[in-house]
Amino acid sequence: MTDFSRDDLTDTMSSFEAAVSAPHVQIPAIAPRVVLLALDGTNQDPAALALSVAVANRAGAAEMHLTYAYEGPSEPAREHYLAERAGELSARAGGLTTTHSRPHVPAGAAPPRSFHQILELATQRNCDLIVMPAPYLDDYVQLGTTSTGTNLDMLLRHRRTPLLVVREAYPAIERCLDHLIVPLNLVTKRGTDVLAWAFRLAVPGSATVHLVATADTQGIAAVAPAAGGAVRDHDIDELELAGLAHGPAAGLVAAAQRRAADLNVACRVSVRTGQPLEQLLAFTRQQERSLILTGCPESCSATGYLQVQALIRESPDPVMVI
């Protein structure tokens, strides 16, 4: 109150730097029309169905299409399963038009791989969002692999539309839409599109859009000795390191807060310190249920792409990749 620290000064300076240097960006208006839900026959399907309906309704989509992609010729049991789920979807779809089908396979031709079927169907029906279940398994995470399974890997690589991956099948999964988490470190060039989806899904008065920025101090600490110095706490400007003091992240925060004010949606910026993915997952654990929305580079060798892959693999909460 009558004293100050250098940290206080640095934080305040960084805040104002953000105001001065934030580029003026606009969040585009999006109007998703068709949602494609690709079932996989596992016990994830009911949760994926529930979340797809909630997402489609909140996004104002008009149509929801259901499919069950599997390799090999048509099997009556699987067709029956798809029809049953379609019936379930119709019962809870509200104003949505619901359809279901399998991709058309020309007679005599070898059935394509599952991910090809999904991508093909998404193109045929002009889908704006693909929803797909992918079981969350602790032991799978512990394998340390970067893969999330062939189909999901390939969908992530070749998709042309946003992809919503449903992980742990917890009850009342649609409540995850109350906490929409946007990791600012991962949104890359798709930041405004990510925010467009976040605000499209946020219900005024009940949902909160969390913008999470992480200052990777561990990375700095690791390289500091090589640079001939140690890092002291007061040398670290969290806002600066988290990217909030300058450039795109500052512009995104400004755009998000402006949109939040217009829509009367709660929007909170949280700055954390440490390894970005760990911090993001720790943050999501603090919320009861949440949906993570992120951008993803197109190149599968880009660091950001690998981070998104790791996020999908390690997150028990659903992840939407824009």
Partner 1 sequence: MFAWNALFAPVLSAASAAAPAASTPGRPVLPMVVIGAILVATFAAIAFEVYHKSLAALLGAIVAVVAALSLGVYHAAPGERAYNAVHNFIAHDLGVIGVIVGTSILVEIAGGSGLFHFIAVRLVKLTRGRPSVLLPAIMAATIGFVTFLTIAPGVLIMSSLVLVITKALEDRPTPYIMAVAIGANSGALMTFASGIPTLMIGTAARIPYVHFLAVSTPLALLSAMIAFAVIRFAYRRDLVVTGDPVAREAKVAAFDEWALVKDRSIFYRCAAILGLTIIGFAFAQQLGVGLDFIALTGGTLALLFSGFNVEDAIRKVKWPIILFFVGLFILIGTVQETGLLNVLANQITAIAGDSMFLALLIIIPFVFITAGIVDNIPVAATMIPIVRNMIDAGFAPEPLWWSLIAACNLGGNPTPVGSIAAVIALHALAHERGIRIGWGEYLKVGGLITLLQIPLVIIYMEFYRRLGLFPEL
Does the protein bind partner 1 through residue 26 (CB under 8 A)? no
Does the protein bind partner 1 through residue 18 (CB under 8 A)? yes
Does the protein bind partner 1 through residue 266 (CB under 8 A)? yes
**Residue found under tokens 């069950």:** 68
C-alpha to C-alpha distance for 123 and 128, rounded to whole angstroms:
9
Residue closer to partner 1 by CB (options 96, 260) is: 260
Task: Tell me the closest approach of the beta carbon of residue 40 to partner 1, in angstroms.
Answer: 38
Tell me which stretch binds partner 1 (CB under 8 A): 27-35, 123-131, 248-256, 310-318: 248-256
Among 90, 218, 257, 275, binds partner 1 (CB under 8 A): 257
Tell me which stretch binds partner 1 (CB under 8 A): 55-63, 152-160, 225-233, 257-265: 257-265
C-alpha to C-alpha distance for 75 and 73, rounded to whole angstroms:
6
Identify the sign of the CA torsion 193, 198, 203, 208.
negative
C-alpha to C-alpha distance for 77 and 80, rounded to whole angstroms:
5
Residue closer to partner 1 by CB (options 22, 34) is: 22
Task: Tell me the closest approach of the beta carbon of residue 246 to partner 1, in angstroms.
Answer: 10
Does the protein bind partner 1 through residue 105 (CB under 8 A)? no
Tell me which stretch binds partner 1 (CB under 8 A): 15-23, 49-57, 99-107, 182-190: 15-23
Residue closer to partner 1 by CB (options 283, 305) is: 283
Residue closer to partner 1 by CB (options 209, 280) is: 209
Decide: 202 and 209 in contact? Cβ < 8 Å.
yes
Among 58, 224, 258, 274, binds partner 1 (CB under 8 A): 258
The 3-state secondary structure of 261-322 reads HHHCCEEEEEEEECCHHHHHHHHHHHCCCCEEEECCCCCCCCHHHHHHHHHHHHCCCCEEEC
Tell me which stretch binds partner 1 (CB under 8 A): 12-20, 93-101, 174-182, 224-232: 12-20
Q: What are phi and psi of 91, to 5 degrees?
A: -65, -35
Among 104, 189, 234, 268, binds partner 1 (CB under 8 A): 268
Decide: 292 and 280 in contact? Cβ < 8 Å.
yes
Does the protein bind partner 1 through residue 242 (CB under 8 A)? no
Cα distances (angstroms) measured from residue 22 to each of 16, 84, 243 = 10, 51, 11
Does the protein bind partner 1 through residue 282 (CB under 8 A)? no
